[in-house]
Amino acid sequence: QVTLKESGPVLVKPTETLTLTCTVSGFSLSDPRMGVSWIRQPPGKALEWLAHIFSNDEKFYSTSLKTRLTISKDTSKSQVVLTVTNMDPVDTATYYCARTGGTSGRDFDYWGQGTLVTVSS
């Protein structure tokens, strides 16, 4: 059974760095078919893709946010970590991690439940 679960702080202050962890089960982060993305959704708004990491450690980022994002993985712990620097209230959103590789490799077949992060002083 494939599952993904996000964890991290629910509240961060402006200018702080956010660190989120996605813990996966039911598949291996070393499987060459698999990748994991982070996607966020501000309240009442659309989905926004942030970053992706493949099993070979290849990474790519949203054009508009790439200077603030870092994605990494620890295969032995089955975890994918996202850091977002210089948080701002506009970064308030539900943050999801999602898997690619189970279907065409270009879409997300499994998602975590999401974690709401609020940015406020």
Partner 1 sequence: DIQLTQSPSFLSASVGDRVTITCRASQFISTYLAWYQQKPGKAPKLLIYAASTLQSGVPSRFSGSGSETEFTLTISSLQPEDFATYYCQQLNMYPRIFTFGPGTKVDIK
Residues that bind partner 1 (CB under 8 A): 37, 39, 46-49, 52, 60, 62-63, 96, 98, 103-104, 106-109, 111-114
Residue 63 tokens, joined: 């054009």
Question: Smaller CB distance to partner 1: residue 76 or 104?
Answer: 104
- Distance of alpha carbon 28 from the chain centroid: 16
Task: Please state, in angstroms and rounded to a whole number, the distance separating the CA atoms of residues 37 and 27.
Answer: 15
Smallest gap from Cβ 23 to partner 1, in A, equals 15
Q: Which residues lie closer than 8 Å to 106 by C-beta, 6 or more apart?
A: 100
Which C-beta is closer to partner 1: that of 90 or that of 106? Answer: 106
Distance CA 105, CA 108 (A): 8
Least Å from the CB of residue 4 to partner 1: 9
- Shortest separation between residue 8's beta carbon and partner 1, angstroms: 16
- Count other Cβ atoms within 10 Å, centred on residue 107: 11
Closer CB to partner 1, residue 37 or residue 79? 37
The helix (run of H) or strand (run of E) holding residue 79 is strand 79-84
Smallest separation, CB 83 to partner 1 (Å): 19
Nearer to partner 1, 16 or 49 (CB): 49
